[in-house]
Amino acid sequence: MSELRVIGRDGSERRLEAFEGGAVMDTLRDAATGILGTCGGACSCGTCHVYVAPEWLDRLPAKGEDETMMLEAIGELVPLRAGSRLACQLPMTAALSGLVLEIAPEL
């Protein structure tokens, strides 16, 4: 069992049990963190924006073209940070157990 450490939009911190095999987005969406994941992981809606803590960034897979385009567009609506990622593009693996992230503001 893996774990996510999630800082919510209200600043509270939660530890979530994460099932490996899906995306980080799936755990966040099912735990009512405010992550919508409307498109189901197709990288077409931008509703799973999170800020990943700096110490975790080099352990994440690189951004693809669609994620980069989507984050650029998101940046016109809400602030971006170095750790801005779409949680649907982060596969939940044991190596990411303990990942610290913050839920970005609503669009």
Partner 1 sequence: MGDINLKMLLESKSLERAPFPIPTGWFFIGFSDSLAAGEMRNVHVLGQEWVLFRTESGKPGMSDPYCPHLGAHMGHGGKVCGEHLRCPFHHWEYDTAGWCKSIPYAKLTPPIIKKQAVLRTLPMVERYGMMWAWFHPACEAPSFELPYIPEMEDASGYAGTRRGSWTANTCIQEIAENGVDTAHLKFLHGAPIIPPVEASYDGPVMTLDIGRGYIVGKSYGPGLNVLRFTQHGVTATMISYTVPLTHDTTQMNMSFRHVDYAEGTPELQASKKIIDHMIGAAEGEESAGFESVDFIVWNNKKFRPNPLLCDGDGPILQFRKWFQQFYTDPGYVKV
The smaller minimum CB distance to partner 1, of residues 38 and 59, is found at 38
The smaller minimum CB distance to partner 1, of residues 32 and 42, is found at 42
Segment holding 2, helix H or strand E: strand 2-7
Give, as ranges, the residues between 46 and 85 that touch partner 1 (CB under 8 A): 46, 65-66, 69-70, 73-74, 77
Q: Is 23 in the site for partner 1 (CB under 8 A)?
A: no
Q: Is 36 in the site for partner 1 (CB under 8 A)?
A: no
Q: Is 44 in the site for partner 1 (CB under 8 A)?
A: yes
**Strand 2-7 versus strand 99-103 pairing type:** parallel
Alpha carbon separation from 12 to 15, 21, 33, 40 (Å, rounded)? 10, 27, 11, 26
The smaller minimum CB distance to partner 1, of residues 54 and 75, is found at 75
Q: Is 45 in the site for partner 1 (CB under 8 A)?
A: yes
Tell me if residue 4 falls in helix, strand or coil: strand
Phi, psi of 69 (to 5 degrees): -65, -40
Label residue 56 exposed, middle or buried (CB < 10 Å: 0-12, 13-18, 19+): middle
Q: Is 43 in the site for partner 1 (CB under 8 A)?
A: yes
Q: Which residues bind partner 1 (CB under 8 A)?
A: 39, 42-46, 65-66, 69-70, 73-74, 77, 107
